[in-house]
C-alpha cells in the first residue's frame, strides 16, 4: 500500500546563491487525482516553510505521483520557492517517485529561475 511520502530538502537558494531564509516552498498538484485514501484536488497549494538556511522545516508529507491516478496517465506537481519577503525565486514541475522512503526535492533542477 502507498502512503504519503516525507519531503526532505535543503538549502534552497535564489539566483545569486543566497539562501531563501524564512522563505516558503509551495507544491500544487496540476491534475485532480485519486489517492489510496480518496480524492486529491488540483489547485490545492501546500505551503512548506523554510528555515534560516532554506531547508524545509518539519517533516511534511505529500502523495507520490506514482500513487495517484489522474485517469490521464500524467500527473505532476508544480513547485515554487519564495524568499522570506514573498518574492518568487524559482519554479519547477516535478514528479515525486515512490521508490524511496523520502523524496529529496533539492535534487530537482528548476524550470525557471527569477532575478529580483
Each domain of the chain, given as residue ranges in start order, spans: 5-113
CB-based contact 80:20 (threshold 8 Å): no
> What is the model's pLDDT at position 109?
56
Rounded distance, CA 107 to CA 7, Å?
A: 12
Does the global pTM surpass 0.75?
Answer: yes
104 against 52, higher pLDDT: 52
92 against 3, higher pLDDT: 92
Query: Was domain 5-113 assigned CATH 2.60.40?
Result: yes
Taken as a whole, the chain contains a residue count of: 116
Residue 110, beta-bridge partner list: none
Give the three-state DSSP class for 105. helix
Amino acid at each position: 500500500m502507498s502512503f504519503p511520502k516525507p519531503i526532505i530538502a535543503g538549502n534552497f537558494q535564489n539566483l545569486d546563491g543566497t539562501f531563501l531564509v524564512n522563505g516558503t516552498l509551495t507544491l500544487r498538484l496540476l491534475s485532480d487525482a485519486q489517492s489510496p485514501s480518496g480524492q486529491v484536488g488540483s489547485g490545492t497549494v501546500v505551503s512548506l516553510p523554510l528555515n534560516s538556511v532554506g531547508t524545509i522545516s518539519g517533516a511534511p508529507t505529500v502523495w507520490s505521483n506514482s500513487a495517484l491516478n489522474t485517469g490521464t496517465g500524467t500527473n505532476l506537481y508544480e513547485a515554487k520557492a519564495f524568499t522570506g519577503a514573498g518574492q518568487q525565486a524559482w519554479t519547477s514541475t516535478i514528479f515525486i517517485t515512490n521508490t524511496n522512503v523520502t523524496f529529496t526535492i533539492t535534487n530537482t533542477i528548476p524550470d525557471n529561475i527569477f532575478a529580483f
